[in-house]
Amino acid sequence: MPEITINLAAGRTDEQKRGMMADITAALVKHLGVDPEVVVIQINEAPLSHKMKGGKTYLERQAKT
């Protein structure tokens, strides 16, 4: 069974995440020939203050824009 884990900074809607997971499931069905019932997708979300890039948290980076 294919199992996909996705790490994201928090902030996307449930609708966006559901759409992404549906598209990934469809891609696995198409390219791997698996049944959608065996595809497992898990999203791990981190608060913007708990994720850092370039020495600044995502919250700090967001404040600059």
Confidence of residue 64 (pLDDT cuts 50, 70, 90): confident
2 is catalytic: yes
pLDDT tens, 2-32? 999 999 999 999 999 999 999 999 999 999 9
pLDDT tens, 35-53? 999 999 999 999 999 999 9
AA letter at 24: I
Catalytic residue among 1, 2, 23, 59: 2
Confidence of residue 56 (pLDDT cuts 50, 70, 90): very high
Burial degree of 48 (CB within 10 A; 0-12, 13-18, 19+): middle
